[in-house]
Chain A
Amino acid sequence: MAGEKKAGEKKAGEKKAGEKKPAQKKAEEKKPADKKPVEKKAGQKKVREKKPKKYHASRNPVLARGIGRYSRSAMYARKALYKRKYTAPETKIEKKKKEKPRATIIKPVGGDKNGGSRVVKVRKMPRYYPTEDVPRKLLSHGKKPFSQHKRRLRASITPGTVLILLTGRHRGKRVVFLKQLGTGLLLVTGPLAINRVPLRRAHQKFVIATSTKVDISGVKIPKHLTDAYFKKKKLRKPKHQEGEIFDTEKEKYELTEQRKTDQKAVDSQILARIKKVPQLRGYLRSTFCLSNGVYPHKLVF
């Protein structure tokens, strides 16, 4: 038996060879199924490390429903919880928290006969306490900031759909949908060569989705086209000059080279696919309009 044990230990876990003997003894003490580990060892030496845990039945016999024989403290002793104290593994956050920042700093001080340096507190006490504290805000629920809102997209709008813009300077134009951006706005392109609509953002609500779709399956849209890329820039220097307060820095929009290259990169891929569908190019060039006898609620888009 002893011989077998040793042989088994060597084969099963060479790392834990030393630990296994005492560990095994403990296991035998605690768990009533003593013979099982030994038997298993003889047959399957590798499975021994992953033995399923056997839990003891309740050590607190039931007197009546909801009432046990032993009190809390008696149960503590019976379950030997004094031996079983576990701590959760220290998380990275806790590790970081341990690094306490310095509370004081030694700063040099000028002047003669001043001692050369002073010990200064890094975080000082407040110099003013208001007479009335700020009242506690009532708990609110589910009020998320815009950045955490859920973005939805109509089922009729999928990448490659032809959309009709309804507002803005490009109203009435038919345009190809590329993708939905982080804020929920739709990234859309003319393409520029067809109807002078550049890579632009459009709002879902102000757009009609037609059932015409262009196959955009393989088109790669550059990843830097995000909301920050399209956001309008405001430049205003705080220096006021009495004569020209209302003269803002950027009145005119200036076309950057990056926009041109991005436009080209995207459009070249899309134009190729548009040319494959007959008459689609002319369709994208045309604008949408209502005339006599045309009722939007009766139209199928």
Chain B
Amino acid sequence: VFKRFVEIGRVAFISFGRHAGKLVAIVDVIDQNRALVDGPCTGVRRQAMPFKCMQLTDFVIKFPHSARQKCVRRAWEKENINEKWAATRWAKKIEAREKKAKMTDFDRYKVMKAKRMRNRIIKHEIKKLQKKTTKKVKKTEKKEK
């Protein structure tokens, strides 16, 4: 049922707050609501952070609990978390959303034209296939007769 757990080394995505949009590694658990968190390669200082603003990712890195920042950084870079994250669909969706929001009027026009072109090509292919099947059906009907 649950696949991602809060554990030492779990990489989490911060959804809101000052560090919204950044990745951190959970270094230690403070109490029921907070964790000691560190993001040496993503620009987040070692600090306490409530679980509520964290969203767990699939990545876990190995380091002992309460390890210092140098160790966290080493483990992070060893696993190449930044690149792996950029390759996930999650990160790509975020990027796409950002790009869409930044679109200027001219960009929107270009996108509209590109979409229209694409849809026309798709429809064209569909129509071609449809024609083929109707032809086949007609042929088989004729044979039966």
Residue interface bits A180-220, CB-to-B below 8 A is 1, else 0: 00000000000000000000000000000011100000000
Residue interface bits A253-287, CB-to-B below 8 A is 1, else 0: 00000000000000000000000000110110010
Does A164 lie within 8 Å of B105, measured CB to CB? yes
In the complex, chain A residues whose CB is within 8 Å of the CB of B104:
210-212, 300-301
Task: Tell me if B16 counts as interface (CB < 8 A to partner A).
Answer: no
Least CB distance from B112 to A in Å reads 8
| Tier of interface size on chain B | under 10
Of the candidates B101, B103, B109, the one having the most CB atoms from chain A within 10 angstroms of its own CB is B109
Measured in the bound complex, the distance between the Cα atoms of B123 and A97 in whole Å is 87
Interface contacts (Cβ under 8 Å), in number, total 33
Q: Which residues of B in the span 85-130 have a Cβ within 8 Å of any Cβ on A? A: 101-106, 109-110, 113
Add 8 more A-B contacts to A280-B106, A282-B113 (CB < 8 A).
A162-B105, A211-B104, A212-B105, A279-B106, A279-B110, A286-B109, A300-B101, A301-B105
Measured in the bound complex, the distance between the Cα atoms of B105 and A98 in whole Å is 65
Does B109 lie within 8 Å of A210, measured CB to CB? no
Residue A279 contacts which of B101, B102, B105, B113 (CB distance < 8 angstroms)?
A: B113
Least CB distance from B128 to A in Å reads 28
Task: Tell me if A288 counts as interface (CB < 8 A to partner B).
Answer: yes
Measured in the bound complex, the distance between the Cα atoms of B121 and A150 in whole Å is 55
In the complex, chain B residues whose CB is within 8 Å of the CB of A210:
104-106
Q: Which residues of A in the span 232-249 have a Cβ within 8 Å of any Cβ on B? A: none
Chain A residues close to B by CB (< 8 Å): 162, 164, 174, 210-212, 279-280, 282-283, 286, 288, 298-301
Does A282 lie within 8 Å of B109, measured CB to CB? yes
Least CB distance from A273 to B in Å reads 15
Chain B residues close to A by CB (< 8 Å): 101-106, 109-110, 113
In the complex, chain A residues whose CB is within 8 Å of the CB of B113:
279, 282
Measured in the bound complex, the distance between the Cα atoms of B101 and A282 in whole Å is 23
Measured in the bound complex, the distance between the Cα atoms of B103 and A14 in whole Å is 77
Q: Which residue of B lies closest to A288 (CB)?
A: B105
Measured in the bound complex, the distance between the Cα atoms of B104 and A300 in whole Å is 5
Measured in the bound complex, the distance between the Cα atoms of B101 and A243 in whole Å is 62
Measured in the bound complex, the distance between the Cα atoms of B103 and A212 in whole Å is 11
Measured in the bound complex, the distance between the Cα atoms of B109 and A288 in whole Å is 10
Q: Which residue of B lies closest to A283 (CB)?
A: B109
Task: Jot down 27 A-B pairs with beta carbons below 8 A, ordered by A.
Answer: A162-B105, A162-B106, A164-B105, A210-B104, A210-B105, A210-B106, A211-B104, A211-B105, A211-B106, A212-B105, A212-B106, A279-B106, A279-B109, A279-B113, A280-B106, A282-B109, A282-B113, A283-B106, A283-B110, A298-B101, A299-B105, A300-B101, A300-B102, A300-B103, A300-B104, A301-B104, A301-B105
Least CB distance from B101 to A in Å reads 7
- The 6 A-B residue pairs with the shortest CB-CB distance in the complex, in nearest-first order: A212-B106, A210-B105, A283-B109, A211-B104, A301-B105, A283-B106
Of the candidates B103, B105, B113, the one having the most CB atoms from chain A within 10 angstroms of its own CB is B105
Measured in the bound complex, the distance between the Cα atoms of B105 and A210 in whole Å is 7
Measured in the bound complex, the distance between the Cα atoms of B105 and A116 in whole Å is 84
Q: Which residue of B lies closest to A174 (CB)?
A: B105
In the complex, chain A residues whose CB is within 8 Å of the CB of B105:
162, 164, 174, 210-212, 288, 299, 301
Measured in the bound complex, the distance between the Cα atoms of B102 and A164 in whole Å is 18
Least CB distance from A281 to B in Å reads 11
In the complex, chain A residues whose CB is within 8 Å of the CB of B102:
300
Of the candidates A162, A212, A283, A286, the one having the most CB atoms from chain B within 10 angstroms of its own CB is A283
